[in-house]
Amino acid sequence: MSVLPHRAGPLPRRVLGRAAAAVALLGALSFGALIVSAPAATAAGAVPAAPVLTASDDGISWSVTPADNRQGKGRANYGYAVEPGDRVSDALVVTNRSAAPLQLSVYGTDAFTTPSGHIDLLTADDPATGLGTWLTFRRGTLDLEPGESAEVPFTLRVPDDAAPGDHSGGVVTALTQRVGDSALTVDRRLALRVHARVAGDLAPGLGISDVSVTTDLSANPFGTVTSTVRYSLTNSGTARLVPTETVAVAGPGGTAWLGDPATASGELPEILPGSTVERVVTVSGVRPLVRAEATVRVDGLVIGIGGGGVTSANDAASGWAVPWALLGLVVLAVAAAVVVPLVRARRATGSRGAEGSAGATPREVKATVTQQA
């Protein structure tokens, strides 16, 4: 077993209620669960000094950080290269930065990537099924006096049948508080991420599904429009990935009749194995050519302990992109091309008839007298 630096994604904030009704009721009261993530390692493999992660509200404040020991010093979170059956001993340091005593619960759980692309942890009432079940703690609760720090040992036990690849979870410290006089409680959580790469064949994979494209209307018959491309991106493999997406919108069949296809590209947040992210991409500068074809390509860079290469996926979809303003002009032009000659012809015919009547020779009209008997 070895410990190596690794890269991690953005840090979400989340509050967890123990009752389902608390979600709506306590939305304005949420403090959040904060997960610490390690920054990218340098080329030399150095990891910056560990930050002091603090949860603070209403005068209640505490911090967590990985302990300095033989597993590493100055760490931002935990990363292990392991084999099935391994046991890893480690610890975290918790400090009460409040002026009042604190009682915190300590436990492990699973991590996942949310549909919006943030790394998060399962709620306290949602049982872990992955790496969270590998973590055991010497004590499940922690009582700290003001200013007191304590080291909390834990053990990561890798199952004998653990699948090769990346497994992610978190070490959580939580303060449970009752909301007013109600029976509802809220967990304020502070957590450190835990990543373990189990030895074996790494199988990175990406999947793209449910691609769709819609295109806005424009009042400018000769201008460009904006298309919105939606799709689902799934980490279908066994490795942590940082994807880079490229979305292009062109005419029917992917042709670009009036220039290059309009494109949008960028790097996405980390996606953990088994997680799906819902993407909505806006592509500007699209030429409406009745039908628009959107192509999506995603390249996923394997990150984490030891890296592991790149995997890719692509898909396409089409939708209507009717240039109604331009079609309106065409209809008017066709109508003008048909109607104007007809009007001119009718006017010309009327003119010739009037001229013929004016030039006719007058006839003498003789009176006829009829004698009545």
How do residues 15-51 score in pLDDT, each as one tens digit? 333 333 333 322 222 233 455 443 333 222 333 334 4
Whole-number Å distance between alpha carbons of 216 and 264: 16
Per-residue pLDDT, 311: 97
Residue 217 CA: distances (Å) to CA of 40, 155, 229, 261, 321: 43, 59, 15, 18, 8
Query: Is residue 262's pLDDT more than 70?
Result: yes
pLDDT band of residue 8 (cuts 50, 70, 90) is: very low
- Region 70-87: what's the mean pLDDT? 97
Query: Is residue 131's pLDDT more than 70?
Result: yes
Query: Is residue 105's pLDDT more than 70?
Result: yes
318-346: pLDDT as tens digits:
888 665 444 454 556 676 566 667 766 67
Contact (CB, 8 A) for 157 and 122 = no
217-247: pLDDT as tens digits:
765 566 688 999 999 999 999 999 999 999 9
Domains 16-198 and 206-325 alike in fold: yes
| Greater model confidence, 261 or 334 | 261
CB atoms closer than 10 angstroms to residue 126: 12
The residue whose two tokens read 């309106």 is 328
Range in 177-186, 210-219, 272-281, 320-329 with the lowest mean pLDDT: 320-329
Per-residue pLDDT, 337: 67
Q: Name the 3-class secondary structure at 320.
A: strand
Whole-number Å distance between alpha carbons of 10 and 13: 10
Q: Name the 3-class secondary structure at 156.
A: strand
CB atoms closer than 10 angstroms to residue 89: 11
Q: How many CA atoms lie within 13 A of 328 on its CB side?
A: 9
What mean pLDDT, rounded, does the chain reach? 80
The pair of structure tokens assigned to 129 is 């099924």
Domain 16-198 superfamily per CATH: Immunoglobulins (2.60.40.10)
In DSSP notation, 111-142 reads EEE-TTS-EEE--TTS---SGGGGEEES-SEE
| Greater model confidence, 155 or 52 | 155
Range in 128-137, 172-181, 194-203 with the lowest mean pLDDT: 172-181
Per-residue pLDDT, 340: 61
Q: Is 320 exposed, middle or buried (0-12, 13-18, 19+ CB in 10 A)?
A: exposed
Per-residue pLDDT, 186: 82
**Domain spans of the chain, in order of start:** 16-198, 206-325
Whole-number Å distance between alpha carbons of 50 and 47: 8
Burial per residue of 161-184, b for 16 or more beta-carbon CB atoms within 10 angstroms, e otherwise: ebebbbbbbbbbbbbeeeeeeeeb
User: Which residues contact residue 282 at a Cβ distance below 8 angstroms, ignoring those fewer than 6 apart?
Assistant: 226, 227, 228, 229, 264
- DSSP code at position 257: T
Question: What is the rounded (10 degree) CA torsion for 160, 166, 170, 171?
Answer: 50
pTM, two decimals, is 0.74
Percent of the chain at pLDDT above 90?
55
Burial per residue of 135-159, b for 16 or more beta-carbon CB atoms within 10 angstroms, e otherwise: bebeeeebebeeeeebebebebebe
Q: Which CATH number fits domain 206-325: 2.30.29, 3.30.1050, 2.40.128, 2.60.40?
A: 2.60.40
User: Which residues contact residue 273 at a Cβ distance below 8 angstroms, ignoring those fewer than 6 apart?
Assistant: 165, 166, 167, 168, 235, 237, 238, 239, 240
- Region 61-70: what's the mean pLDDT? 97
Per-residue pLDDT, 323: 56
Per-residue pLDDT, 27: 29
| Beta pairing partners, 109 | 170
